[in-house]
Structure 1
Amino acid sequence: MQRQSNNFRPKFSDEECITIYLWGISQRGFEQKVICQYTKNHLLEWFPKLPRYQEFSRRLNLLAPAFQALSELWLDVVIRHSGNEGNYIVDSCPIILAKGSRSGHAKIAGELCDKSYNFSRKEWYYGVKLHAFVARHAGRLPTPLGLMISGAASHDLTAAKQIMEDQHPLDPGLLFADKACIDATWADLLKKDYKICILTPLKKRKEDTIHSGDAFSTFVSSVHQPIECFFNWLNHLTNIQTASIVCSTAGLLLHIFGRIATALATLIFNS
């Protein structure tokens, strides 16, 4: 957060700005202008020093690091209160700034974003990936244990290795992943260092006449499915995957971490 001096105290505080944005996202007001206008029309008694939209937006962008810090803090709270059954899942979802024909010309936040092909959506897009490492729970939403942002073109295996290295000490168990994470050397390392066995769908070979691995692959995919539920829940709550109105690096970081913080706060207060 930027300050002019140690004695600088704006009439409209950072705490108020953060509160309004988190509340607005949780109420599905996904655009800053919508959040600012609703606050002006209905909540001005609580926030009498609310500035004009342009200043509100500028302040939010400056506060992007604060939302990242809140996300890290609240993720630790979620982890501490989560039960661990020894079943983990890792995967990623896209955060899209531009797609289709526009993806080849987009340049916003170029130090963070790449162009890549999304096979599940069958489309090219420009943006980043949100990688999630979660604990699977029977009958309820998975608990995020680690979250990481990478360029859209980054390989899921590279990100999975990094996100695992950054984890707190983990209980032994099973890690379910997709075919992108097939790597014999990494699998051996997980067994040795973490006492975790990674399970992925089997790669089918052209010479196979009987697909003997189909039942196993179906099992792994079914156990892996809850992370898709997590991404769907996150996107429904915050619209995190749609970042087409972002116009700067600071705006992208605000978009990502403001929404992650909103989701984590929801998990904490509804647990």
Structure 2
Amino acid sequence: MCIHLNLMIFTKIIRGFIRAKHQLAQSLFPNFLEYSRFVRRCNALLPSIQVIRQALVFKEVEGMSVSIIDSFPIPLCQPIRNFRSKVLGDYANVGYNATKGQYFYGFKCHALVSESGYVIDYTITPASMADSSMAEEVLSQFGTPTVLGDMGYLGQSLQDRLELKGIDLITPVRKNMKQKKILFPNFSKRRKVIERVFSFLTNPGI
């Protein structure tokens, strides 16, 4: 289901991007291809674009020691319609946004980001999917030796499984835990990078 959702969301994003680029090209070149032919050309190039992106990601993560993992909500309606909305009902559902302290209907994007703000990998799931349950999938291709997560990734079982794969997952600690401090320099400051990336991606003014 995650793969199908990724493809569906990615397709919608690409359609909007292609339409905008076509309008720009037509304004610059009056004899430019009509929209339908332009779309066919772009579709034919999609496999090549995916290969190029993967190569760029491999280059970006080469030698990288630290990355940041988190998720952000993709609501499809206002909270008041959470349990009435039928938009993409076969895939979307209701989840909880801990940051805003409210429930939402839609999807959730789980992402891995570099300290420079580069989106390394991501996956789209129904809104109810817990962050911790998707961590291993998000880290499966481009996991770095150290990954910074928030409370959503707290759990010894997950940390142990990732440790077997050579990944040290660093998270905040609860007040009742023996370890009272996060043993990682500037943890909160370094995690703010992914918050800025998510803010950019979800800003409706973009």
Q: Which runs of 5+ in 1 are unaligned?
A: 1-17, 26-34, 240-271
Residue 202 of structure 2 is matched in structure 1 by 235
Counterpart of 2:34 in structure 1: which amino acid?
K
**Mapped partners of 1:50, 1:162: distance in 2:** 37
Residue 189 of structure 1 is matched in structure 2 by 161
Pick from 77, 84, 93: which aligns with 2:72? Answer: 93
Q: CA deviation at 1:44?
A: 6.7
Residue 54 of structure 2 is matched in structure 1 by 76
- Report sequence identity in percent: 20
Q: CA deviation at 1:188?
A: 1.8
Residue 154 of structure 1 is matched in structure 2 by 129
Pick from 82, 87, 91: which aligns with 1:103? Answer: 82
Q: CA deviation at 1:21?
A: 3.1
Counterpart contact for 1:201–1:217, Cα < 8 Å: no
Residue 123 of structure 1 is matched in structure 2 by 102
Who wins on radius of gyration, i.e. which is larger? 1
Pick from 14, 27, 34: which aligns with 1:49? Answer: 34
Q: CA deviation at 1:23?
A: 6.6
**What is the TM-score normalised by the length of structure 2?**
0.73
The C-alpha deviation readout for 1:115-169, integer Å capped at 9, x for no partner, is: 1221212332211111111232xxxx3222211010111000011122223x14x
Deviates more, 1:144-153 or 1:112-121: 112-121
**Aligned-residue CA RMSD (Å):** 3.8
**Mapped partners of 1:67, 1:104: distance in 2:** 40
Q: Which runs of 5+ in 2 are unaligned?
A: 1-13
Choose between structure 1 and 2 for higher RCO, CA contacts under 8 A separated by at least 6 residues: 1
Aligned length in residues: 191
**Mapped partners of 1:212, 1:187: distance in 2:** 15
**What is the TM-score normalised by the length of structure 1?**
0.57
Q: Per the alignment, in what secondary structure is the counterpart of residue 98 of structure 1?
A: coil
Q: CA deviation at 1:43?
A: 5.1
Counterpart of 2:58 in structure 1: which amino acid?
R
**Mapped partners of 1:127, 1:181: distance in 2:** 21
**Mapped partners of 1:135, 1:154: distance in 2:** 23
Q: CA deviation at 1:39?
A: 7.1
**Mapped partners of 1:88, 1:158: distance in 2:** 18
Residue 118 of structure 2 is matched in structure 1 by 143
